[in-house]
Structure 1
Amino acid sequence: MRLSNRTRFWLPYAISILCAILFIYAATSKLWDFQEFKVQLGQSPVLTAYAEWMAWLVPLTEYVLAVLLLIDSTRQKALFGFLGLMTMFTTYILIVLNFSDYVPCSCGGVLENMGWTEHLVFNLFFVALAIIAILQLDSRPIHNSTLS
């Protein structure tokens, strides 16, 4: 399927907005109930030793990437950052599910109500979106004049 120039131009932008909304929502919900988030990180079999600074680093990174996703000049690097972070979150879930007896959920808001399978599918969906956006940025028209 061949996408029009207009779609190739706007698709990465639209995906970036969705990714930014996800990270703003996730970071805000973590900070909204910061103590609970920190406790849940401390209960993680993988992150216990790093819970204190991870509790600050994760939402801060999500906010920074969300802003960078919305800026044209930093969008591509931010999409790679988003992809990397979402891949790490997804890998963490897989590791904890397969090698731990206890699986704390340090997500907030609506994401906290998801089951682990749903959470994996959700994460993989956003990983796929990030890959699509990165590939479209590499193949999209360079000048706005080619959008017609």
Structure 2
Amino acid sequence: MKKSNMAMGIICTLNIILFIYAASAKLLDFYNFQFSLSESPFIAPFAGILAWAVPAIELIIAVMLVIPGLRLAGLYASFILMSLFTVYITAMLLFTSDIPCSCGGVLEEMSWGTHILFNCVFVALSAWGIYLLRKKRRMLPILPALA
């Protein structure tokens, strides 16, 4: 197995585990997740919809990362979602004094600095996966029958 294929497998597996775990933790403790969202000064008006949308999006991304034809879209979605989470946490730290955590599970136990670092690692992993997959696709002939 080529190193880039192995790296892609590791990147996708880590993201799949993260998103399935995070979505499951939120859904298993749905009331507290929704309550935490409603306590956020930035997203409180959207807490009801976000409480369902965030875990659904996380699960959809995990499925996209499993399906080879959707993997690139899944990596882009992972990159965007983790970037948004990171910006949200940073904004909360900069502009509010009381910061509710709605992450769920073990992620809820991290300090905010650790959480930002954790998110940045996953943003970087997704970016690396995008790079590897786009590089691999550029090497493939566009019309294999003519190659």
* TM-score, with length taken from structure 1: 0.90
Distance 2:7 2:133 in 1: 9
Q: Which residue does 2:96 correspond to in 1?
A: 100
Aligned residues: 139
Residue ranges of structure 1 left out of the alignment (5+ in a row): 144-148
Post-superposition Cα deviations, 1:60-90, rounded to whole Å, max 9, x if no partner, equal 0000100110110000011000000000000
RMSD: 1.3
Preserved CA contact (<8 Å) 1:8 1:139: no
Aligned to 1:92, what secondary structure does the other structure show? helix
Extract unaligned runs of 5+ from structure 2. 142-147
Structure 1 residue 10, shift from structure 2 partner: 2.7
For 2:56 and 2:8, the matched residues in 1 are separated by: 23
Identity %: 41
Structure 2 residue 106 is the aligned partner of structure 1 residue 110: yes
Please state if 1:36 is matched with 2:32: yes
- Equivalent position of 1:9 in the other structure: 5
Give the residue type in structure 1 aligned to 2:72. Q
Task: Give 1:137 shift.
Answer: 0.7
Once the two structures are superposed, residues 84-124 of structure 1 have per-residue CA deviations (whole angstroms, 9 ceiling, x without a partner) of 00000000000000001110000111000000000000000
Structure number with the bigger relative contact order (C-alpha 8 A, sep ≥ 6) is: 1
- Normalized against structure 2, the TM-score is what? 0.91
Q: Secondary structure at the match of 1:42?
A: helix
Deviation of 1:51 after TM superposition, in Å, equals 0.2
